[in-house]
């Protein structure tokens, strides 16, 4: 075997090894990957649960994009361009849609702080009610207290 033939054979053997990281970096998009993240704009349900004619057209649209080799984000962007923002099952993470994520988090934090303050106040009131009452322990009032107690003892 000549050196040129050996070099060509080595290059052909290394070609699948060199191509595998590129294939692993860009996984192929599938219909189930996208179906659970987009909605049918007519019935307002997830695409994977909808049987309407519009949902079937949307699935065909997605299949054509997958066959063209587009990524998941490209397909979702094309769906938004075609059907509008209501096609997305999850709101976008920017603009007004960001409030869909921030409002529940803020509500939870406010409720947690309010609960912590209420528990601290409740515990302080309980500790104050358990404190022993201060009373006269010496002097003329102590003598009068002793006399009153002795009157009731039989």
CATH: 1.10.260, 1.10.10, 1.10.3470, 1.10.8. Which one for 25-90? Answer: 1.10.8
Output the pLDDT for position 89. 79
Output the pLDDT for position 117. 94
Radius of gyration of the chain (CA): 37
Q: What are the pLDDT digits (tens) for 40-72? A: 888 888 888 888 888 888 899 999 999 999 898
Do residues 68 and 103 touch, judged by C-beta distance below 8 A? no
* Largest Cα span, the chain: 127
Q: Where are the domains of the chain?
A: 25-90, 92-123
Output the pLDDT for position 141. 85
Q: Residue 39 pLDDT > 80, yes or no?
A: yes
Using CA atoms in the order 134, 136, 137, 141, what is the torsion angle rounded to 10 degrees?
A: -170
Q: What are the pLDDT digits (tens) for 111-152? A: 999 999 999 999 888 776 765 656 556 788 888 888 888 888
Output the pLDDT for position 23. 47
Q: Residue 83 pLDDT > 80, yes or no?
A: yes
Q: Residue 14 pLDDT > 90, yes or no?
A: no
124 is written with which tokens? Answer: 């302080």
Q: What are the pLDDT digits (tens) for 85-98? A: 788 877 666 677 67
């Amino acid at each position: 075997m000549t050196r040129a033939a050996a070099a060509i054979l080595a290059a052909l053997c290394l070609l699948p090894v060199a191509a595998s990281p590129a294939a692993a970096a860009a996984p192929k998009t599938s219909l189930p990957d996208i179906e659970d993240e987009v909605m049918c704009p007519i019935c307002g349900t997830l695409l994977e649960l909808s049987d309407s004619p519009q949902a079937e057209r949307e699935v065909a649209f997605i299949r054509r994009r997958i066959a063209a080799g587009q990524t998941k984000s490209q397909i979702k962007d094309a769906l938004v361009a075609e059907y509008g923002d209501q096609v997305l099952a999850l709101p976008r993470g920017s603009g007004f849609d960001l409030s869909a994520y921030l409002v529940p988090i803020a509500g939870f934090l406010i409720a947690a702080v309010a609960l912590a303050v209420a528990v601290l106040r409740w515990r302080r009131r309980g500790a104050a009610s358990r404190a022993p009452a201060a009373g006269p322990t010496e002097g003329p009032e102590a003598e009068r207290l002793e006399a009153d107690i002795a009157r009731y003892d039989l």
